[in-house]
Amino acid sequence: MSSTIAVIGSTGKTGRRIADLLDERGLTVRRLARGTSPAFDWEHPEGWPQALHGVERLYAAYVPDLAVPGSDAAITRLIEVARNAGVRRIVLLSGRGEDGARRCEDILLASGIPATVVRASWFTQNFTEGMLRDAALSGVLALPAGDVREPFIDVDDIAAVAVEALTGEGHEGRLYEVTGPQSLTFAEVATMLSEINGREVVYLPVTFDEFHAAVAAAEGPEVATMLTELCREVLDGRNEATATGVSEVLGRPARDVRTVLTEAGVVGAWA
């Protein structure tokens, strides 16, 4: 394949890995983010035509999240820009259990452009390089999750599935729901972190109001409201079941949480 594959969100968890995998295959990759040239900024659609000019295949991860109001309008506009640019395949990262994400999935799959949706559960890497890394370092995971179980997914598995959807055949019109192989409570993950790091990490269940106040103090009220509403929507048990998207696409099981966290510890994720 000699055509250009664009990766929107190339500095994020999934996009960075996808772009690297495509590079390793010797493919032509256009990494797109707010700081790239050309730039892609979800808040400045006037720059999208230039960013997608000459692109044949496209991976998109929407920021901040497909669950937020207005995401459907953004995805609708992206599809039109992509169509005008001649994009012939789109792979969209989506989230499990999110009504807003479902609307965006439906819009894409009905667009007429060959498309694939990768619907993912909570990332295991949130504990190693994301919003919960600092909490793991502090020794307290404070979340409004009660004893809900979550089948955390390895982001490397998401990237591998997305790359296959971008480059392989037979994925058009498909929705792959990707999770890890087991569902764990946040308390169980805290115990794993304690064992791997050799220092205690505890899970502290908090109310949504308490969570909002803590995030607002650290990240501001807008981020706090977005994350609180997202947690309120999905941390009610609706996503506890595992899914088979990874094995469907890759022909192997999804990687488990302990393996991913152990490997992260070896390379100093919490140093």
What is the rounded CA–CA span in Å between residue 222 and residue 219?
Answer: 8
The 3-state DSSP class for residue 89 equals strand
What is the rounded CA–CA span in Å between residue 158 and residue 179?
Answer: 9
> pLDDT tens across 189-231, in order?
999 999 999 999 999 999 999 999 999 999 999 999 999 999 9
Asked if the structure places residue 195 within a domain, the reply is no
The answer to whether 180 touches 242, Cβ cutoff 8 Å, is: yes
Task: Report residue 169 as tokens.
Answer: 């055949």
Tell me what pLDDT residue 119 has.
98
Asked if the structure places residue 74 within a domain, the reply is yes
Residue 1 has pLDDT above 80, yes or no: no
Give the range among 26-30, 58-62, 135-139, 158-162 with minimum mean pLDDT: 135-139
Task: Using a cut of 0.95, tell me whether the model's pTM lies above it.
Answer: yes
> Cα 251 vs. chain centroid, distance in angstroms?
21
Identity of residue 86: G
Tell me what pLDDT residue 237 has.
96
> pLDDT tens across 173-189, in order?
999 999 999 999 999 99
Identity of residue 81: V
Asked if the structure places residue 162 within a domain, the reply is yes
What is the rounded CA–CA span in Å between residue 82 and residue 67?
Answer: 22
Asked if the structure places residue 27 within a domain, the reply is yes
> 């949504």: which residue's tokens?
208
Tell me what pLDDT residue 131 has.
84
Asked if the structure places residue 213 within a domain, the reply is no
Residue 24 has pLDDT above 70, yes or no: yes
202: part of which helix (H) or strand (E)?
strand 202-205
Asked if the structure places residue 16 within a domain, the reply is yes
CA dihedral 61, 135, 35, 43 (to 10 degrees): 50
Question: Any bridge partners for residue 117, and if so which?
Answer: 92, 175
Residue 55 burial class via C-beta count within 10 angstroms: exposed 0-12, middle 13-18, buried 19 and up: buried
Asked if the structure places residue 116 within a domain, the reply is yes
> pLDDT tens across 252-265, in order?
999 999 999 999 99
Q: Quote the Cα angle for 122-14-102, to 5°.
A: 55
> 């479902």: which residue's tokens?
102
DSSP 124: G
The answer to whether 238 touches 165, Cβ cutoff 8 Å, is: no
Asked if the structure places residue 198 within a domain, the reply is no
Number of domains the chain contains: 1
Tell me what pLDDT residue 2 has.
56
248: part of which helix (H) or strand (E)?
helix 245-250
The answer to whether 254 touches 247, Cβ cutoff 8 Å, is: yes
Residue 241 has pLDDT above 80, yes or no: yes
Residue 134 burial class via C-beta count within 10 angstroms: exposed 0-12, middle 13-18, buried 19 and up: exposed
CATH of the domain at 28: 3.40.50.720
Within 13 A of 24's CA, how many CA atoms are on the CB side?
A: 9
* Domain span at 30: 4-122+154-178+240-254
Within a 10 A sphere around the Cβ of 66, how many other Cβ atoms? 25
Strand pairing class (202-205; 4-8): unpaired
> pLDDT tens across 65-122, in order?
999 999 999 999 999 999 999 999 999 999 999 999 999 999 999 999 999 999 999 9
> 């990768």: which residue's tokens?
118
Residues contacting residue 222 through CB under 8 Å, at least 6 positions apart:
none
